[in-house]
């Protein structure tokens, strides 16, 4: 895990595609402005840690498709973190998660948020 300037914490998964889309779009925009950025997947959002889980999520104009935005976020150097305890609580294993993502624990979440210059909590 690396400390980043901007941290988005997402608590819901595909069941709330608006929140997913906004989280990823804001992360991409932070990177395009020259900031480092992380998206933390917590609670139900850990399901998005599976490969291609955001693919095809499209809430319509003016927003781009979330899966493509997530790929751009990663390509631009963004970091996706998965709450390990949330993952286990929701019945997932590390082997099911995208290998590009970082498993983190509660102290890591606090460190990321306290060390960030800005954050966005999306529930």
75-116 per-position pLDDT tens digit: 999 999 999 999 999 999 999 999 999 999 999 999 999 999
User: What pLDDT is stored for residue 67 in this prediction?
Assistant: 95
State the CB neighbour count (10 A cutoff) for residue 98: 15
CA–CA separation, 98 and 12 (whole Å): 18
Whether 1 and 113 have beta carbons less than 8 Å apart is answered as: no
User: What pLDDT is stored for residue 49 in this prediction?
Assistant: 98
Is the four-CA dihedral 68, 23, 104, 1 of positive or negative sign?
Answer: positive
> pTM of this prediction?
0.96
- DSSP state letter for 72: H
Q: Domains for the chain: give ranges and CATH numbers.
A: 6-122 (3.40.1260.10)
- Laid out side by side, the sheet with 118-122 consists of 102-104, 79-83, 37-41, 6-10, 118-122
Grouping H, G, I as helix, E, B as strand and the rest as coil, residue 63 is coil
8-20 per-position pLDDT tens digit: 999 999 999 999 9
Find the largest Cα–Cα distance for the chain: 38
């Amino acid at each position: 895990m690396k400390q980043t300037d901007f941290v988005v914490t997402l608590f819901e998964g595909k069941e709330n595609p608006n929140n997913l889309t906004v989280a990823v779009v804001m992360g991409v925009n932070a990177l395009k402005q020259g900031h480092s950025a992380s998206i933390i997947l917590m609670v139900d959002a850990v399901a998005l840690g599976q490969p291609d889980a955001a693919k095809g999520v499209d809430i319509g104009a003016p927003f781009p498709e979330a899966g493509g935005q997530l790929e751009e976020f990663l390509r631009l150097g963004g970091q996706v973190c998965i709450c390990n305890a949330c993952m286990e609580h929701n019945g997932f294993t590390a082997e099911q998660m995208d290998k590009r993502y970082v498993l983190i624990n509660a102290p890591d979440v606090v460190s990321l948020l306290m060390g960030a210059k800005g954050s966005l909590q999306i529930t």
